[in-house]
Chain A
Amino acid sequence: MIQYQHKSKMKSKKEKVNQRFSSFPQMNLRKRGELMHEIIIHLILIGLIFALFFYVTAGRVNSKEVKQQVIEKELALLIDSAEKGMSFSVNKLNMNGEIKSIEIKNGKVLALVDNQKFSKGYDYFSKYSVSVDEREDRFIVNVR
Chain B
Amino acid sequence: MTSITNKSGVIGEGILMIYRLMLVSFIALVVLGVAAVFYGYYVDVRDVEARIMAVNVVNCLSPDGVFIADNLKGYEGKVLEYCKIYNSGKFYINVSVQGKKYQDGDSSLLWIREIYKTSAGDNIKKYEPGYFSEVYSVIVNGKEDKLNVEVLVNDEI
Interface residues of A (CB under 8 A from B): 38, 41-42, 45-46, 49-50, 52-53, 56-57, 60-61, 63, 65-66, 69-70, 73, 76-77, 80-81, 107, 122-123, 125-127
Interface residues on chain B, size class: 20 to 34
B36 touches A127 (CB 8 A): no
Q: Which chain A positions have C-beta within 8 A of B68? A: none
A77 touches B45 (CB 8 A): yes
Contact partner, A127, options B35, B39, B84, Cβ 8 Å: B84
Contact partner, B43, options A50, A60, A66, A127, Cβ 8 Å: A66
Q: Which chain A positions have C-beta within 8 A of B32? A: 53, 56-57
Interface residues of B (CB under 8 A from A): 13, 17, 20-21, 24-25, 28, 31-32, 35-36, 39-43, 45, 48-49, 52-53, 55-56, 83-88, 90-91, 156
Closest Cβ neighbor of B89 among chain A residues: A123
Q: Which chain B positions have C-beta within 8 A of A127? A: 56, 83-86
Contact partner, B36, options A46, A60, A70, A123, Cβ 8 Å: A60
Q: Which chain A positions have C-beta within 8 A of B40? A: 60, 65
Contact partner, A123, options B31, B55, B88, Cβ 8 Å: B88
Known: A53-B28, A69-B43, A125-B56. 9 other contacts (CB 8 A): A46-B21, A53-B31, A61-B35, A65-B40, A65-B41, A69-B42, A80-B49, A107-B88, A127-B85
